[in-house]
Amino acid sequence: MSKKIVLGVSGSIAAYKSLNITRLLIKSGYEVKVVMTPAAARFVSALSFSTLSKNPVFTELIDQDTWSNHVDLGLWADAFIIAPATATTLAKLANGIADNMLIATYLSAKCPVFIAPAMDLDMWKHPSTTFNISKLESYGNKLIPVGIGELASGLNGAGRMAEPADILGYINNSLNVEQDLIGKTVLITAGPTQEAIDPVRFIRNHSTGRMGIELAQECGSRGAKVELILGPTNLEIEHPSVDVTPVISAQDMYEATISKFEHSDISIFCAAVADYRPKTKSKSKIKKSESTFSVELERTPDIAMECGERKTKNQTTIGFALETQKGLEAAKYKLKKKNLDIIVLNSLKDKGAGFKHNTNKISIVHRDGSINEYPLKTKKEVAKDVIDTLISLS
Ligand code: C5P
């Protein structure tokens, strides 16, 4: 089940960065509800937060004669992040002055509370701020350290709110989201490849890239630096630890992957790479004439196999096999042929598995011949199972 976060936003110019915090939390699989102070709502609109979080935003304790239930909101949360926390909000939090929905929710929350202050240099250094911070820490709240740099006033120094990606990392660490891939570089190929016939037509398959994107997010959230080589897809991925290299053809994917393979600890070949491409690409649009028309095809490079040949003993590689018949036999054959450590088999015969679904049903085949079968799960859950298996190999 996803972890539930309440994000409290108070009235600082840094509130615009909280939109990014919301996006990063959602992309990392958290459920997010936002509570804003009236001052924050003057900097950034509640509509932006509700659009990104896909939840209503709380701004008023009493909204048109209706009392907003801060108790339910506080108890709902697995974690409460207050970012940005202004000097005023820090003072109110420290002293329990519940004159807005954010502070009332804070007083009702029983979960860990993380506070990311944002203010000007002199406000940050002021003894009252120092006093409020130490009071809040003494209550068990966790302070996310401020950054040093240019401030909205034009001054330079301490007081900037921590960057959204750093706040996400801090939350992941503190909430014990497994951080078992810290220090590892993971290379992932994903999506289809597209092989041009002429400037207008191409050969392509049904892959959407979703499985690879879920794997990239899972690895990123577990602390890895991820290089995602992504074929043409409509899906988007934005994660602070994932670098995306977009590619079109199998040849592009091959070149991008080979250039990064040497520096990767783990490689996951999830892409549905075209096995064949037109031998020649017509420079101009091919006109129709005869009743039949043939395109001569040639093999594309096998990226997984090439990497399997270059692989050192410190590198781990995972392949995928999508089969329509004799799946297990084919998967075992590919596992050895491509020198993989494990291969993930999914069959198009299983309902809900394969292309165009948010779900997948997999079996993981090991080199010793052992097989782990899994029920139908979301691709996000499948990604977790694959990475858990990968971790268990070491
Ligand atoms: O041989 P087949 O295409 O079924 O093998 C599947 C595995 O090999 C997948 O992990 C896929 O990403 C990878 N592959 C590749 N380059 C190719 C073909 C497949 O990396 N040209």
Q: What is the CATH number of the domain that holds 367?
A: 3.40.50.10300
Same domain for 45 and 95, yes or no, is yes
| pLDDT for 350 | 73
| pLDDT for 221 | 85
The answer to whether the beta carbons of residues 387 and 188 sit under 8 Å apart is: no
Share of the chain above pLDDT 90, in %: 75
| pLDDT for 151 | 83
pLDDT tens-digit readout, 100-117 = 999 999 999 999 999 999
Same domain for 235 and 374, yes or no, is yes
DSSP SS3 for 265? coil
DSSP SS3 for 198? coil
Same domain for 101 and 208, yes or no, is no
Higher-pLDDT residue of 390, 288: 390
Domain contains 315? yes
Cα end-to-end distance, the chain, whole Å = 27
Token readout for 275 is 């096995």
Q: State the distance from the centre of ligand 1 to the C-alpha of 376, rounded, in angstroms.
A: 23
| pLDDT for 192 | 97
pLDDT tens-digit readout, 120-133 = 999 999 999 999 99
Query: 184 pLDDT band (50/70/90 cuts)?
Result: very high
Same domain for 67 and 206, yes or no, is no
Q: What is the CATH number of the domain that holds 88?
A: 3.40.50.1950
Q: State the distance from the centre of ligand 1 to the C-alpha of 106, rounded, in angstroms.
A: 51
Same domain for 247 and 344, yes or no, is yes
Euclidean distance between CA atoms 222 and 204, whole angstroms: 32
Query: 1 pLDDT band (50/70/90 cuts)?
Result: low
State how many domains the chain has.
Answer: 2
Mutational pocket test of ligand 1: of 205, 251, 273, 322, the residue with most ligand atoms within 8 Å of the beta carbon: 273
pLDDT tens-digit readout, 215-233 = 999 999 888 999 999 999 9
Higher-pLDDT residue of 326, 315: 315
Please determine, for residue 87, whether its predicted confidence score (pLDDT) is greater than 70: yes
Compute the half-sphere exposure of residue 384: CA atoms within 13 Å on the CB side of its CA.
13
* Residues noted as catalytic: 205
Euclidean distance between CA atoms 299 and 366, whole angstroms: 28
Q: State the distance from the centre of ligand 1 to the C-alpha of 178, rounded, in angstroms.
A: 29
Gyration radius of the chain over CA positions: 25
Q: State the distance from the centre of ligand 1 to the C-alpha of 79, rounded, in angstroms.
A: 41
Domain contains 270? yes
Sequence-distant (≥ 6) Cβ neighbours of residue 95 within 8 angstroms: 132
**Ligand 1 atom 1 nearest Cα:** 334
Atom of ligand 1 nearest to the CA of 323: 4
| pLDDT for 309 | 97
Same domain for 250 and 167, yes or no, is no
Q: State the distance from the centre of ligand 1 to the C-alpha of 122, rounded, in angstroms.
A: 58
Burial 320-331 (b: 16+ CB within 10 A, else e): bbbbeeebeebb
pLDDT tens-digit readout, 303-317 = 999 999 999 999 999
Atom of ligand 1 nearest to the CA of 321: 6
| pLDDT for 354 | 67
Mutational pocket test of ligand 1: of 261, 266, 269, the residue with most ligand atoms within 8 Å of the beta carbon: 269
| Mean pLDDT score across all residues of the chain | 92
**Ligand 1 atom 6 nearest Cα:** 321
Domain contains 179? no
Atom of ligand 1 nearest to the CA of 250: 21
**Ligand 1 atom 17 nearest Cα:** 302
Mutational pocket test of ligand 1: of 251, 266, 325, 338, the residue with most ligand atoms within 8 Å of the beta carbon: 338
Pocket of ligand 1 (CB under 6 A): 189, 250, 269-271, 273, 275, 300, 302-304, 319-321, 334, 338
Domain that holds residue 141: 4-174
Please determine, for residue 146, whether its predicted confidence score (pLDDT) is greater than 90: yes
Q: State the distance from the centre of ligand 1 to the C-alpha of 237, rounded, in angstroms.
A: 22
Same domain for 101 and 140, yes or no, is yes
Token readout for 357 is 């679904």
Same domain for 265 and 299, yes or no, is yes
The answer to whether the beta carbons of residues 31 and 10 sit under 8 Å apart is: no
